[in-house]
Amino acid sequence: MSLLAPLALLGAALVGPLIVAMYLLKLRREDRPVSSTFLWRRMVRDVEANAPWQKLRRNLLLLLQLLLMLLLVFALARPFVAAQGISGTNLIIILDRSASMGATDEVRNRLEVAKQRARQLVDQLPDGGRATIIATGGEMEVPAAATADRRELREAIEAIQLTNNGGSDLGQALTLASALAARDADSEVAIISDGNVTVPAELRVPARVSYFPIGRSTENVALSAINLQPSLAGQTLFVQATNYGETIVNRRLDLYLDGAVFNAYGLTLEPGRDQSIVVELPAQVQVVEAHLAGEDALAADDRAFAVSSVGDTVQVRLVSDGNRFLATGLGLLRGVEVTEVPAATTVFPESVVQVPVTILDGVVPPELPAGNLLFIGPLRSTDYFSVTGEIEFPVVRPVGGDELLRNVSLSEVSILKAARLVPGNWARTVVDSDGAPLLIVGEREGRRIAVLAFDLRNSDLPLQVAFPLLLSNLMDFLAPGSGAEGAQVLPGQPLAFQVDETITEVRVRLPDGSTLSSRNNDVQIQGGQAIFAATSNLGVYLVEEFQGNELVAQRQYAVNLFAPSESRIAPQRDLNIAQASGAQSTVSRERDGRQEFWRWVALIALIILTIEWLVYQRNGLSYLRERWRERRSAG
């Protein structure tokens, strides 16, 4: 135990002797009945009675007052004990609420234990200290910012709920925490998580960072993939389960077709390995649910859903003077129906729903067609980009981490020449070069646009394995929600699909049975495209399109938790986060913080003060008690 203000103990040396001296100097006369004062002359003499510095007699009031004084002085000295926690006056708490924090290897789950730890850190704040609460996992939220109101902080912590979307990237949260910590030299950042997070390597936090690990178990089995594709016999179902634990596990995989039990399969999963099944299903099956029977620490990844795409096709218009490479590549894509139009076509009467995607191969018509657009080798500028010349033999430089380059390798691609593009601020660069971007994508005025700066015939890209993969990824971007791949959505990923201008209402039925509608602005419709963003719940979403009161179209989407970073629940005992002091480790040791308990001492002092008052007023209280008894007996 230590004291934050030890000089306050000097108060005992000053006040204590004063209290004792007052009792030494106090006159002590006693009332005694006598028959005659002549026989008691000594009693009428005040010499001895009024003599100062008499021998101190035992007195309960004196003991209580001395004890009260000692307790008050001790409380003013602010005693504390070393504890696992924090010591700064500006506390920034980053609380992980991602899917892995729903693991039940702790009391209730990891998130509840993390919230309890956060409340303890708030209680450790010194007087005048303030705290900020940052909830990470999915979209970052700040329910309480730089406040000293402990009630507000506790309510903000209690309101944090689990989320399935977004993973556990701490980049945005640590960036905000760094900005807040830079304002106060006595700042500290506390991360409460199971450690299954992504930490930015280039960030250096200008404050001390403490990590409080949550979780105990490492064992978890998850459904890591599911796919339902059309086949010659009907549909082919692929389901994969992965063991993220450290021991061999036997589980049963149950399959349900449109809500009815279909079959069960025994799985034996070795640590770190996966096992899959492939099943042929009838063409009329609409929804497949896979369920791992039994229990493990994380239940969110024990279920997965797939919806049928039989009969679903996306109409693509190809405006070209004849490009065998492009026509062949589009023909290999499942669920894509291509209609070729001569390059000289200038009028495009079809609506967005009839033809949602148009590919302009080496041509830019005076009036662009409706819907989403893919420009290939544009020859002139448009409202979306400018063409300022040509680049010869550009060096291909893919931008790492872009989803459009998933499984695509462009390292061996050679290009003879390409248009020098100047994109607008709506676009992002997917493939760059020395002089100008080679592939840009983005969204403007409600339509999605992609621009490939070179003619395919001026490169060897069509001869590479990357060509059909890149073309497939571009079609997924331009025609979201189409086909089996488009019907699989990650938690938090918006549903985006084309709607006709005659559609008056779009409804979305959530997995829990509730319904949201575009009439309440829960579904946004703009530029022939509908967007629904509230996809954090796992399960099947049913989208219905209405013309007045008539249902004209419906489609289904499956939202599954396919996130290895969340299913791998083994807690991490330390995080490596670069700090301005040069420290890297953030593990919180047992004696990192301090726990003050002066409030409890002050409470005891208040109790002693009450007892002292009762003792001092004991005669009056006895009188009142006697009077009450007399009144009661008289009554």
Q: What is the mean pLDDT of the chain?
A: 83
CB 506 within 8 A of CB 517: yes
* pLDDT beyond 60 at 91: yes
> Residue 178: is its pLDDT beyond 60?
yes
List the chain domain ranges. 2-78+599-634, 85-216+571-588, 221-310, 314-481
Mean pLDDT of the region 348-373: 82
Q: What's the 3-state SS for 182-202?
A: CCCCCEEEEEEECCCCECCCC
Q: Check pLDDT > 50 for residue 589.
A: no
Write out pLDDT tens, residues 109-127. 999 999 999 998 998 887 7
Q: How confident is the model at residue 273 (pLDDT cuts 50, 70, 90)?
A: very high
| Helix residue spans in 526-597 (DSSP H) | 564-567
In this predicted structure, the answer to whether residue 151 has a pLDDT above a threshold of 80 is: yes
In this predicted structure, the answer to whether residue 24 has a pLDDT above a threshold of 60 is no
Range name among 356-365, 382-391, 402-411, 457-466 with the lowest pLDDT average: 402-411
Instruction: Examine the pLDDT at 383 and tell me if it is beyond 60.
Output: yes
More confident residue, 274 or 604: 274
How do residues 521-555 score in pLDDT, each as one tens digit? 899 887 677 889 889 899 999 999 998 889 988 88
Statement: residue 577 has pLDDT above 60: yes
Kindly write down the DSSP assignment for every residue of 256-297, as one continuous string.
EETTEEEEEEEEEE-TT-EEEEEEEE-TT--EEEEEEES--S
pTM above 0.85, yes or no: no
Query: What would the CATH number be for the domain defined by 85-216+571-588?
Result: 3.40.50.410
Q: Does domain 221-310 have CATH number 3.30.10.20?
A: no
341 pLDDT above the threshold of 60: yes
pLDDT at residue 593 tops 60:
no
Q: How many helices (H) and strands (E) does the chain have?
A: 12, 33
Torsion of CA 525, 532, 499, 513, to 10 degrees: -120
Look at residue 108 and tell me whether its pLDDT is greater than 80. Answer: yes
- Average pLDDT of the residues in 351-379: 85
Count of alpha carbons within 13 angstroms of residue 437, beta-carbon side? 18
Amino acid 124: pLDDT? 82
What are 263's two structure tokens? 């079959």
Banded model confidence at residue 503, pLDDT cuts 50, 70, 90: confident
CA dist., res. 397 & res. 437, Å (int): 9
Strand 495-498 to 488-489 pairing: unpaired
Query: Picking from 259-273, 424-438, 565-579, 587-601, which range would have the lowest pLDDT averaged per residue?
Result: 587-601
Looking at the predicted structure, is the pLDDT value of residue 591 above 50? Answer: no
Superfamily of domain 314-481 in the CATH hierarchy: Class I glutamine amidotransferase (GATase) domain (3.40.50.880)
Which candidate, 495, 501, 496, places its Cα nearest to that of 528?
A: 501
Query: What are the start-end ranges of the E strands in 377-474?
Result: 385-392, 397-398, 417-423, 427-432, 439-444, 447-452
pLDDT per position as a tens digit, 222-235: 999 998 888 877 88
> Do 314-481 and 221-310 fall under one CATH topology?
no
What is the C-alpha to C-alpha distance for residues 128 and 118, in angstroms, rounded to an integer?
A: 18
Tell me: pLDDT of 253 over 90.
Answer: yes
pLDDT band at 102; cut points 50, 70, 90: very high
pLDDT at 83 over 60: no
pLDDT for res 49: 47
pLDDT in tens, 435-474: 789 999 998 877 889 999 999 999 999 998 889 889 988 8
Token pair, residue 183, equals 């304002």
Residue bearing the bigger pLDDT, 299 or 635: 299
Q: Which one-letter DSSP state was computed for residue 59?
A: -
Mean pLDDT (whole number) for 490-509: 85
